Chains A and B, each alone.
Chain A
């Protein structure tokens, strides 16, 4: 097992390095002159060639690809994301602030999503094929079809405008996170519900269950000890994939609800060709991804050590 874990970690490192390289290459080759874009963002005025070249030198854009890359990656390992080429400030503190706004939203969305999908799935599997089951599946399917922005606007219309229960825009108070988290959560719940449902149904078909039942074990214990762990495996998988949806959903939701956060940070940085900031966000996102998936892979192997072994 140690062997497979080491393999996983190594793979994670390779992915991270690849991401950094790919991002850097893309930005480097993006259309337009980055130095010009940066200069314009900085000075907000008509520029001469000299100014642009000066910016080019300052930001290291006049060296070749590999030295620029290494100059960037090096400090990264100590969490030094460098300085913004536009504002000159260090990237990390601003990034951290953005993250601070994003985390409650992401976590809130996750919790709401899990709560809704778990409840719906359990209700649905109570009587498979019954009315509630088909209703739950229909709702879940509808949920996957509805785009976040439409749902968000609908929720704003209902709860903020008509009912005036919840605030819509901004992030001033804690209650400002409710509608955005709800939007996010509903989207997550849509796909998660069906996975949990089919996971439970499949787990119920395991061939040793009748014997365990006949041994006198209560239905509750069977659900908790034999069905849930088995059903958890596909759910955990999808969770890892859901993360992608979540992170991209966060960006969308931040825009709709006018919340500051990673999304707005990223968009602004891209527009300003602020290399260091963009790269920081991408690397951070990749790091989150890779870490979560690593944790998921480890969880798999704890639940069922046969996964990942060659004699599975």
Chain B
């Protein structure tokens, strides 16, 4: 099954922030949407989610930080049940245990409010919520920027394992090409509201064609270390 969007565009205050853009996503594919702030990647991500949803597909979204995903006045349990209801499921019907164990949050007290959990656990909870209905696609917006590296790396690993089990496609939106390159099989480089280059990760890393891509590839990491 291929998820497709075509001709998505957006303007803000008369300015085009996203030129008509199309994308095909294969099942269980992982794609990195890379670009500097303002390149249109988040806009494209949001529009893509809305478009695919309107076509009846199950798409989940994980925002950048837990503060952008959870209401501090509501318990974790409340958020979970709310998410279930929103997906048309009966509250309490999902297999919490499998998801929680996969993302290593099975020890979390669901009665607590978000701030009672560590940020890493909050973020993994948000990811777990996103995976409730075994979505066709999960879109992650800068998933590592709000977490410290050890937590971030562990979270991404856990997500990767579980994603493959569920056959869920993934789009990773980030300004960090180095991060995306380690996590996805296909890269799309955005600049000024357009996709300027797209290819497999190896191809982009070894043979970037556009200046934008070359620039991002050259500066994708801080240093090379003997392993």
Contacts and interface: CB of A to CB of B under 8 A. Distances in A.
Contact of B69 (A208, A229, A305, A306): A208
Which of A206, A212, A303: most chain B CB closer than 10 A?
Answer: A212
A230 to B, nearest CB: 6
Given A221-B82, A225-B74, A211 B115 contact: no
Pairs A-B, 3 closest by C-beta atoms:
A216-B86, A211-B69, A217-B86
Contacts of B164: none
B61 interface: yes
Contacts of A215: 61, 82-83, 86, 129
Interface in B70-113: 70-74, 78, 82-83, 85-87, 113
Given A211-B63, A226-B71, 8 more contacts: A211-B69, A212-B82, A214-B49, A215-B83, A221-B82, A225-B71, A225-B78, A304-B72
Contacts of A229: 73-74
A303 B72 CA distance: 10
11 contacts: A208-B70, A210-B63, A211-B63, A211-B68, A214-B46, A214-B49, A215-B61, A215-B86, A216-B53, A226-B73, A226-B74
Contact of B113 (A214, A230, A305): A305
B45 to A, nearest CB: 11
B61 A214 contact: yes
B67 interface: yes
A264 B69 CA distance: 55
Interface string A195-223: 00000000000111011101111100100
Contacts of A303: 73
B61 A212 contact: no
Contact of B68 (A207, A216, A304): A207
Which of B46, B68, B113: most chain A CB closer than 10 A?
Answer: B68
Contacts of B68: 207-208, 210-211
Which of A206, A207, A208, A229: most chain B CB closer than 10 A?
Answer: A208
Interface in B47-72: 49, 53, 61, 63, 67-72
Interface in A17-65: none
Interface of B: 46, 49, 53, 61, 63, 67-74, 78, 82-83, 85-87, 113, 115, 129
B61 A306 contact: no
A293 to B, nearest CB: 21
Contacts of B71: 206, 208, 212, 225-226, 230
Which of B63, B73, B78: most chain A CB closer than 10 A?
Answer: B73
B86 A306 contact: no
Nearest to A217: B86
A306 B67 contact: no
Nearest to B114: A208
Nearest to B141: A211
A199 to B, nearest CB: 13
A304 to B, nearest CB: 5
Nearest to A212: B71
Contacts of A305: 113
A298 to B, nearest CB: 16
A304 B115 CA distance: 11
A245 B18 CA distance: 54
Contacts of A230: 71, 73
A183 B91 CA distance: 47
Contacts of A214: 46, 49, 61
B89 to A, nearest CB: 11
A272 B79 CA distance: 62
Contacts of B87: 216
Contacts of B63: 208, 210-211
A299 to B, nearest CB: 13
A217 B82 contact: yes
